[in-house]
A and B are shown apart, each in its own frame.
Chain A
Amino acid sequence: MIYIAILTVAMLIAGLAAYFFRDLIAAVVACAAVSLIASVLFYLLQAPDVAMAEAAIGAGLTTAIFVIAIRKTGRYEK
């Protein structure tokens, strides 16, 4: 149970980091961390299918297309 609490808090901190980072790449990486922790939580909630999908899609591909999009636009939030 304590693991769940730690993971949840870590996830929320990563989420807040995604809010606060001015560097968009850093924000997106924080967002990927949220997805990754969420995928662990999905696994702990007995949802391995969802965990796989979240890890592959949420943490993997979404981050990739975000990074590409940031490279095509601007890196810093003004």
Chain B
Amino acid sequence: MRAFVSFSVLALIVVGLALSLSHVPFGKDRMQVANYYLDHGVADTGATNLVTAVVLNYRALDTLGEVTVLFIASLGLGVFLSWPKKKEGTQEEGKRELPEASLIVRRGSQFLFPLIILFGGYIFLHGHLTPGGGFQGGSVIASAFLLMFLGNNAYRLRHTPLTVTESLAGITFVVVGLIGLGVGGYFLNNFLPKGSMFSLFSAGVIPILYSAIGLKVGAELSGIVANMFESRSER
């Protein structure tokens, strides 16, 4: 019965999608608004990566919303993975069932850690010029912490600095937007000079916003990874 219902629902969707997509031919130019972005994007924003221009200028509010979604996810993880504290069970919490990793893995991960962080920082700082940006950079940073967790059994992440980074970065985003509101009359308006093309200090507020996003996403994802590692599945 259930399989039958699922199958018929799926069949309905497949037919519907196929019929609809036949009217949206692949590879055709059907840009309306996007033409404006392509033509004026660089002049308007100073960012040579037009995806960044869209993400952080024309549709910057989506991005604020999306970092908020991650923020909520990490909050939710914090709620769900913290069991009510019991008196005797507390010292058990640090116990890990994994065997200790070999010296090479441990030293190697410690050696790679700053390099990966640096790489992540590079990715989000150059988000307005090259592919990549805050989300990619942030997830690279989180993967550095993941590596530390995998390589070192005793590795623990302090959550307070993460929380502070997270909220400071979020506040930076909103405050930059509010300054734009005060200076230019629009929320998230660009109020800094756009600079010359292809230089790091160009595109006005975009590098600031992308750094804030990079740090925020990095902190949130690291928090998620840390929470997952430190959680216990049972009381």
Contacts and interface: CB of A to CB of B under 8 A. Distances in A.
Closest 10 CB pairs of A and B: A48-B131, A72-B233, A56-B139, A68-B228, A52-B136, A49-B51, A49-B131, A57-B139, A52-B132, A53-B136
Interface stretch (A15-23, A25-33, A59-67): A59-67
Interface residues of A, number: 16
A36 B131 CA distance: 17
Given A52-B132, A53-B136, A65 B143 contact: no
Given A49-B51, A64-B225, A65-B225, A56 B143 contact: yes
A72 to B, nearest CB: 4
A65 B132 contact: no
Contacts of B142: 61
Contacts of A65: 224-225, 228
Contact of B228 (A53, A60, A69): A69
Contacts of B49: 49
Contacts of A72: 228, 231-233
Contacts of A51: 131
Contacts, number: 47
B135 A57 contact: yes
Q: How large is the interface on B (under 10, 10 to 19, 20 to 34, 35 or more residues)?
A: 20 to 34
Contacts of B131: 48-49, 51-52
A65 B228 CA distance: 7
B186 interface: no
A61 B221 contact: yes
Nearest to B232: A72
A56 B140 contact: yes
Contacts of B179: none
A68 to B, nearest CB: 4
Given A61-B146, A69-B228, A49 B233 contact: no
Contact of B133 (A49, A60, A61): A49
Interface in B181-234: 221, 224-225, 228-229, 231-233
> Which of A48, A60, A61, A73 gathers most chain B CB within 10 Å?
A61
B234 to A, nearest CB: 9
B229 A68 contact: yes
Given A52-B123, A57-B136, A57-B139, 4 more contacts: A56-B139, A60-B139, A61-B142, A65-B224
Interface in A4-46: none
Contacts of B233: 72-73
B143 A49 contact: no
A73 to B, nearest CB: 6
B26 to A, nearest CB: 10
B229 A56 contact: no
